[in-house]
Structure 1
Amino acid sequence: MRGWRHDYHTHIQTVKAYLALNQIKEANNFLQELEQDLVKVDSYVKSGNLMLDAILNSKISLADNKNIYVKCKANLPENISISDIDLCVILGNILDNAIEACEKIDENKRFIRIYISTLKNQLYISVQNSAKEELGFNEKNYITTKRGNHGLGMKRVKILVDKYEGYLNLQNEPGIFASEITIPLQ
């Protein structure tokens, strides 16, 4: 995630520099080149929601490169009442954690299952992944295996789910970790 954030800031700064120098054509060319890079990734999921497709395809591509089997079913309208940024943060953190957990186990046991849809006027997100160990956590304190014991990603997910008056359910059993989110759609 840190690498993506670094690249994102670099890309934004590059476009700003072109625009500050009134080099519109160069800025446009740069953006088209970025778009072509995204098209290379955009081959796994077509959910109907552009932002969801972008984050899912990016993370699935990353998982695929790490020999993680991913099964994904996603269907979401283009316009939902959740901001694209918040949706990106929620899914990005959950999928980053799933990928990290899978990296810690044998390649032949690695999997991530993703299901995203609207059910009864709610956004429903389910992510299950293989995991090496059973983590200890409760609703308020998410225990992490990361150095420094920060676990900021899941705390951020919880804050955003709460922002939309949604529900976050985390379940952990030996060998599998599951995240379920429901968020009311207005």
Structure 2
Amino acid sequence: MRHDLRNHAQTMQAYLQLGQTGQLEDYLTELSSSFEQVDDVLRTGNVMADAILNSKLSLCRSHDIAVSATAQVPASNIPDVSLCTILGNLLDNALEACLRLPDQKERFMRVYIAPMKGQLYVSVTNSSPGRSRVEGGRYVSAKPGRDRFARHGFGLFQIDRAVKLCGGYVNRQQEEGVFSTEILLPL
């Protein structure tokens, strides 16, 4: 999927550089039709955040995960690439944790994003089987087949890196069956 995404991005960039906006539009239309139907329920004020949130939350609903989401993303100096990395990885991790629960009735995800005291507050809370393992202060990936060098979640690393680049703060908490991440990003 990462290779496909890179290829699609390079193709779209080439169309832009050549000024072939008509071909780019056709390419985007074709690419969009290849994705699952996405519910367009959230309007945050940020087109990129809308695309990520609506796509990921639609996927959650298609897996019978109970979703509660409220989001408002004001215009800010937070780079879209960083926000995309943060939201995409947060929601992917939450989805994967929910899907590890055998009982669909226990699966849930709550998303809350809003400006708060000059910061963008991002909170994702989700059901999770048991407690996540922590080694050396870092959460260990629950994905099967990880060797000792790849055990630490790459998605968590990407989130932490993007938050740090934005001058923000990450807090993760867990209880039996629940995992929560809170992020503050300066607006």
Fold equivalence (TM over 0.5):
yes
Aligned to 1:157: 159
Aligned counterparts of 2:12 and 2:88: Cα–Cα separation in 1: 24
Aligned counterparts of 2:161 and 2:185: Cα–Cα separation in 1: 12
SS in 2 for 1:51: helix
- The 1:139–1:164 alpha-carbon spacing in structure 2 relative to 1, beyond 3 Å, is farther
Aligned counterparts of 1:9 and 1:70: Cα–Cα separation in 2: 30
TM-score of the aligned structures, taking structure 1 as reference length? 0.85
1:147-168 CA deviation, whole Å, 9 max, x = no partner? 3113111112112212222111
Q: Which amino acid aligns with 2:90?
A: I
Contact in 2 for aligned 1:42/1:54 (Cα 8 Å): no
Shift of 1:139: 8.1
Q: Which amino acid aligns with 2:76?
A: I
Aligned counterparts of 1:50 and 1:112: Cα–Cα separation in 2: 22
Q: Which amino acid aligns with 2:180?
A: A
* Structure 2 counterpart of 1:94, from 80, 84, 90: 90
Q: Could you tell which deviates more after superposition, 119-128 or 153-162?
A: 153-162
Aligned to 2:100: 104
Shift of 1:17: 6.6
SS in 2 for 1:44: coil
Identity value in percent: 43
TM-score of the aligned structures, taking structure 2 as reference length? 0.84
- How many residues align? The count is 181
Shift of 1:31: 2.4
* Structure 2 counterpart of 1:179, from 167, 170, 181: 181
1:91-139 CA deviation, whole Å, 9 max, x = no partner? 1111111000000111111000000010001010000000111013378
Aligned counterparts of 2:78 and 2:157: Cα–Cα separation in 1: 18
Q: Could you tell which deviates more after superposition, 89-98 or 153-162?
A: 153-162
Alignment gaps of 5+ in structure 2:
none
SS in 2 for 1:41: coil
Instruction: Kindly report the root-mean-square deviation, in angstroms, between the aligned alpha carbons of the 2 structures.
Output: 2.6
SS in 2 for 1:108: helix
Shift of 1:87: 0.4
Aligned structure 1 segments of 4 or more residues deviating by more than 2 angstroms: 5-28, 31-40, 136-140
Aligned to 2:60: 63
Aligned to 1:32: 29
Aligned to 2:142: 145
1:40-99 CA deviation, whole Å, 9 max, x = no partner? 42512111111110110111111112111111000111x211110110111111111100
Contact in 1 for aligned 2:138/2:152 (Cα 8 Å): no
Aligned to 2:118: 121
Aligned to 2:6: 9
